Amino acid sequence: MTDIQSEIGYVTSCEDYLFYLEGLPGARINDLLVADDGSRALVAALAGNRVQALMLDAARPKPGAPFHLSSDGIKIPLGHYLFGRTISPLGRPIDGRTGLPLDGPVLNLDITAPGIGKREMISEPLITGFTVVDTLIPIGLGQRELIFGDARSGKTSFLLDTIIAQKEQNIVCIYAAIGKPEIDTKRFANVIEQTGASAYTIIIAATSSQPAPLIAIAPATAFFVAEYFLHQGQDVLLILDDLGIHAKYLREIALLAKQIPGRESYPGGIFYEHSHLMERAGRFIPELGGASITLLPVIETELENMTNLIPTNLMSQTDGHILFSAGLRSQGWYPGIEWDRSVTRVGRQTQSLMQKLLSTKIRTLLSEYKELQGFIKFETELTAVTQTKIKQAQMAEEILRQDSQQAIPAAVQLILFALIFTTFLEPKETEFVRTNKRKLINAIARTSALTGLAVDPGLNDLESFLAKVDEQTGVLEEACK
């Protein structure tokens, strides 16, 4: 039997970070190669009697350079000491702080996702603190929800606020910065540190200044870390930002390797590359930890390019999508989500009956208002009933607007929406909601008689729920004086 530690291959040709070697009869795909100077490469393909490899470090090999086949592989340190740290896809700290253990499990870049028999039904919600998401487009623990939209549409702020909102939820947050500028990654890490979210957050960063092969393996490393905590029985929120950039680097590598290009010059296996990752998210049986990995893949694309290859691939692989609009953001909306063009396929099954009923009522109200706006422009005479609907819809829109880092508990969100249909807000105008929204939120949060209604199992129809809320609004009048 050959001792692979003694195997040596010699570079025959190279093109930037991609090179070919002769020798290494024991090499397999994704094995680690190490040069005499310590620089590392990954076996990418076996072509006849040659080995194709990709450099993971900035060094560039020259013809004749020797590479040893390592039996150690890429070791990723795993443990709670990763919280608050920023590491590379190779598991090394890049935040300028103290070192991490050099030992750990060997990174497996080709893990097969657990089958359907290892999964459980998604039944609990991920609380983001955003009314538009938690009530209208709910996300369940274990769901895969695509986040996409224009540049400068507020996606990054939304992701930050979602991580911050997990402070009391006992959820591990992992943010993978894939091909992002280094300054943006540092800015993100600083906000995480300043808000106290570093106590449960890990950042895995492969910035735009790093080699393409390192960026290409960043999502796999993020999943590898996420699955460690999953097997410890902890729910994980995993954010991959951004898979559009990731796809472009995979395309660059494939073209450099002279692979036959497919649609939009992407490699033929691009669908597999992403779906192979997506399937590793979900809610799993006790034998696998009894917890979940909730996946928020991100892609930045202009709305007119939604039908391009990568956006449509990712939409088909996820359980829904949340669409962000730079136009809404520029108008002062936060989060700038187009709720009527966003989809959640499994999130609604995590909601209570009252959440479902009230969410449907609000969505219907807002849809009718959108249709009525055409009549309003032409100053068409409107009936009293229509005028009431318009006012209620405008109040609902005001409730959907939030400030950054101002998470609203799910129970408070429900009561806020319910107030629209009570005698408390009936005589008031939208300006009252705009001016007193924070007072209302605080008053509802400290009034157990109101928040208790949001989770009362005895209430099984919407009219009864609204009537009960109406009975308890006296305390809100006092709070808004």
- Catalytic residue set: 345
* Beta strands per DSSP E along 230-281: 235-241
Diameter over CA atoms, the chain? 89
- Going 243 to 305 to 127 to 294, the CA torsion angle's sign is negative
**What phi and psi, each to the nearest 5 degrees, are found at residue 114?**
-60, 145
Closest CA to 135 of 409, 379, 336: 409
CA-to-CA dists, residue 465 to 84, 87, 302, 393, 419, angstroms: 43, 49, 41, 19, 11
Let me know: does 118 contact 287? Beta carbons within 8 Å: yes
Q: What is the DSSP letter of 136?
A: I
Query: Residues 283-306, buried b or exposed e (16+ Cβ, 10 A)?
Result: bbeeebbebbbbbbbbbbbebeeb
Q: For 333, how many CA atoms within 13 A lie in the half-sphere containing its CB?
A: 20
Pair of tokens at residue 141: 């623990």
Measured in Å, how far apart are the chain's first and last C-alpha atoms?
84
Q: What is the DSSP letter of 25?
A: T
What region, left, alpha or beta, does residue 27 occupy, with left being phi > 0 and alpha being psi -120 to 50 degrees?
beta
Distance CA(359)–CA(135), nearest Å, equals 6
What region, left, alpha or beta, does residue 324 occupy, with left being phi > 0 and alpha being psi -120 to 50 degrees?
beta
Angle at CA 299, nearest 5°, toward 242 and 240? 35
Let me know: does 28 contact 42? Beta carbons within 8 Å: no
